[in-house]
Structure 1
Amino acid sequence: MRFLLRLLSLLFLASAVIVGIIDSIQSVASERVLLTPLGAALFSVNPDMLSAAEDYFRSHISAYVWDTAIEWMLLQPAFMVLLALSLMFWLGAFKRQPAAGRFAA
């Protein structure tokens, strides 16, 4: 289970770096700060995915969840959301070392 969480963390981190590089290249080219919203990034990957996710949330979970949390998240910069997801998965896979040390009985 920890391996899967670490793998997801790595994938989200790599995606965040790629989106951050694309944003920085666009910002330098246009001479102003441009940040790609998560919704626009997901739409460029797969246009049907957002409408399918909205239909699923509205029919199975709640329209309130989509209208408040998910729409807000889709408007945030993509690299920040991906970094936050990477951190959450990494924290889920984190295992604390024993306080007494490695070789304590």
Structure 2
Amino acid sequence: MFRLLARLLGFIIFAAALITMVHDGALSIAASELVITSLGEMWFAYSPPGLNLTQAIIERNIHPYLWDPIMLSILKSPAALVFMVIALIFAFLGRRRTKVRAGLDLR
């Protein structure tokens, strides 16, 4: 059940990455220059209070070091790239395992 859920989430997040790439491509064509949307810009456009709440939770309850260099570098990276990496992680977790035969095959 976990593998099915991981594969499904990987597929959905991969679709989000493709949609983000198409959106950036359309914006680039309209602006006649390369436009790449960062994850932070996208998150702020859809939910500014959610971004501020996440920052407050991480800085107060976990550690301020986690927010400033680590999360900020992730939020500044292209959204399509972040979605692709997350989709690959879920696809890796949901992969089918192959049986490894160790020893002699006496057929």
Please say whether Structure 1 and Structure 2 have the same fold, judged by a TM-score greater than 0.5.
yes
Structure 2 equivalent of residue 76 of structure 1: 77
- In structure 2, how many angstroms separate the alpha carbons of the residues matched to 1:23 and 1:99? 43
- In structure 1, how many angstroms separate the alpha carbons of the residues matched to 2:30 and 2:57? 38
Q: Note the C-alpha offset of 1:99.
A: 4.1
- In structure 1, how many angstroms separate the alpha carbons of the residues matched to 2:95 and 2:70? 26
- In structure 1, how many angstroms separate the alpha carbons of the residues matched to 2:48 and 2:12? 21
Structure 2 equivalent of residue 2 of structure 1: 3
List aligned pairs for 1:5-84, cutoff 5 A. Answer: 5-84=6-85
Q: Percent identity?
A: 28
- Aligned to 1:67, the other structure's residue is in SS state helix
- Aligned to 1:96, the other structure's residue is in SS state coil
Q: Note the C-alpha offset of 1:20.
A: 0.6
- In structure 1, how many angstroms separate the alpha carbons of the residues matched to 2:53 and 2:11? 26
For structure 1, the residue ranges without an aligned partner over 5 or more in a row are 101-105
Deviation by residue 1:71-98 (Cα, 9 ceiling, x = unmatched): 0000001000000000011111112222
Deviation by residue 1:2-59 (Cα, 9 ceiling, x = unmatched): 1221121112111111111100000011111100000001111111111011011111
- In structure 1, how many angstroms separate the alpha carbons of the residues matched to 2:79 and 2:93? 21
Amino acid at match of 1:83: M
Structure 1 equivalent of residue 105 of structure 2: none
For structure 2, the residue ranges without an aligned partner over 5 or more in a row are 102-107
Residues matched between the structures, number:
101
**How large is the Cα RMSD of the aligned pairs?**
1.4
Q: Which is greater in Rg?
A: 2
